[in-house]
Structure 1
């Protein structure tokens, strides 16, 4: 056993040397000496066992036991440090610091804890999932539309991962020219969730806000993806000012982060396809659009041409009809004037008389061929 007496001189109430090799401790000195040994030889221990007597005090302190078939040890931790919920009967692995309390009780201060075994992991995730679902974190009504074509995106991923390389390759092949800011983070392991949370918060605070935050990670086992089942990460994604799309693992994988995101793609490659247009497809679309538009214009012009021709024909018919009517009226007037022509009357044997019709007056009598002067001898009224 190794210890340092100099650090505990003030704690020694009495120390009597029985022999050259025997030392008598006070309780305080013994507790501190043992804890010093723990700190030196066993600063952090990994322990596995079954949870028993789990309880939370003041919504702040967590107490439980870890046991096997023969022994039980007491554990303590702060609630904020418990990344995944546990309950009695679960098998767990915990990283702990051993110590003797001032009242002489052996205790493990838990620094990190996680369930082990597929059933226990699922049970723990179900507890978080139900909790977040009841709070509305996964509700479809709060999800926002993902921009179909964005020129300013933020990517959170490991730049060394194959999934990230696939994502960038497809982005460049499909469209290109997109402003991409990348936060390089771990995507598995103890620090991954915290790094991703910090990255999401960062992109929510920059002056030039991105149109979209993309969180991607390639395939892996359920344990590899555990960072994306972190409760605080799910809450951070749900609370993001910027829409978030995830592409985590394979098509069959679904993490709490996927459920909290505005949209979950099946893979990083799928996300790249969702948020960008395909250059070749756009060219084909534009060509088809131009061809269809040209045909539509030609059709419209043909219709307008027909309408103009019909209008011209109608105007022509209207004008000709009016001309015919006017000619008819003119001919009628000509005939009337012809009938009223004095010369025509004279040719029919009539005569025109000019002058005052009075006895002894001289009058002119015009016939078709002669003009006769005559004296009026008698006037009889009819």
Structure 2
């Protein structure tokens, strides 16, 4: 037996004992008739649900909804005011609460779905019509391949939802998965439109350059998904997707289509399909990077082959020019030889004359010596000319080859690699500046004969770059 000094002590004990159970954690679903609906002085909605059994006995329970979600409830049900809730049968979804002040149980409403005929489909068509008039409907099918490689993802979902777990599991199949930030939100019931809109706002205000936003929720019944069909939510999604960050929707099953699917950048049937498409987009880009890298290597090798070919042609042309030069000099030597032969004949035929005319002989001797000096000087000039020619050509050839090499590699991030150095790669991106480094990620060093994976311990910035 337990004794209590007061009623308050008894009620507090009951409340504490109830909290030890799972009573308040479980979601309950039931059907009932709304006998009364009213707004409290604080602006909250109180609903009285009643049901009569076979013996004619009536059972009642209160249902509570915060004032922040009343308008969303009324709008999504296509009602004019809360009085239209009364005297109709509904499907309720919520959690049990204990109210100590009245010692009663109540249901904290999460979702309300009409039984029988409703105006939901008509209201849904009206929302689509309004979105079309404002030009917010997606008019073409987009592809993830048209976006930049996805590296940062903002996810709007419930952290405990199975759909979110499937999404993460598939994304993590990548060798280097993208960064994922979860923005938790209710994904069921009357809280959906407001909470998802708040999550979108937090994403934009974060100033993080996300590549995509994934709005995901696993399958469910029509009553679970009906609150996604909200005009204000659709308008917010359309604005973010068209002006800020592409929004990808994966809500429900294959057959489920909600209003956000009409205004998002792309619609997928399930959260798993969203993840698989992102994985495929990243892998396609990685393959393109590898292909481009191989093409660059091939192009560089091809350029060097052409350079070698052009160099051989230039050397051949130089050889021809040298041969022509020597041929011309040979002809000059023949002329000098003929001149000497001519003077030799004069000497042979004019011995007597020479003996008589010593002055004339001296003159001829001086002439011959002069001619010999000319020949000597010409030989020196030939040697000097050839040497200068080789030096000028060698200098010009090396300068042209160096200029050519610098021109084809000056804007390449692989210039150091071509000079016997290495290429730094991180997150499948070639790093050419310390400002592009992610200090938390490993760094790949690619050399001609292998690769090295390193850990960044420290990054130093040059003062000139910091300015």
Matched, 1:44 2:48: yes
Contact residue 251 and residue 270 of structure 2 kept, 8 A: yes
Distance 1:365 1:187 in 2: 127
Among 254, 267, 272, the residue aligned to 2:257: 254
> Larger Rg: 1 or 2?
1
**Match for residue 246 of structure 2?**
243
Name structure 1 gaps, 5 residues minimum.
Answer: 1-34, 48-77, 99-111, 356-362, 368-382
**Match for residue 213 of structure 1?**
213
- How many angstroms does 1:215 deviate by? 0.5
**Match for residue 348 of structure 2?**
347
- How many angstroms does 1:334 deviate by? 2.2
Calculate the aligned-residue CA RMSD, in Å. 4.4
Give the number of the structure whose residues are more often helix, by fraction.
2
- How many angstroms does 1:319 deviate by? 0.9
Q: Secondary structure at the match of 2:333?
A: helix
Matched, 1:269 2:272: yes
Distance 1:364 1:324 in 2: 39
**Match for residue 226 of structure 2?**
226
Distance 2:245 2:170 in 1: 23
Distance 1:315 1:188 in 2: 84
- How many angstroms does 1:303 deviate by? 2.0
1:129/1:278 CA distance change after superposition, 3 Å: closer
Q: Pick which of 288-297 and 265-274 moved more.
A: 288-297
Contact residue 152 and residue 210 of structure 1 kept, 8 A: yes
Among 74, 81, 88, the residue aligned to 1:82: 74
Number of residue pairs matched by the alignment? 274
Contact residue 150 and residue 281 of structure 2 kept, 8 A: no
Contact residue 147 and residue 212 of structure 1 kept, 8 A: no
Pairing of 1:51-200 with structure 2 (within 5 A):
82-84=74-76, 86=78, 95-96=85-86, 120-138=119-137, 140=139, 147-176=147-176, 178-200=178-200
Q: Deviations over 1:156-179 (max 9, x none)?
A: 112222221111112111254543
TM-score, normalised relative to structure 1 = 0.58
Distance 1:46 1:135 in 2: 43
1:144/1:244 CA distance change after superposition, 3 Å: farther
Name structure 2 gaps, 5 residues minimum.
Answer: 1-35, 41-45, 52-69, 89-110, 362-467
Distance 1:338 1:144 in 2: 92
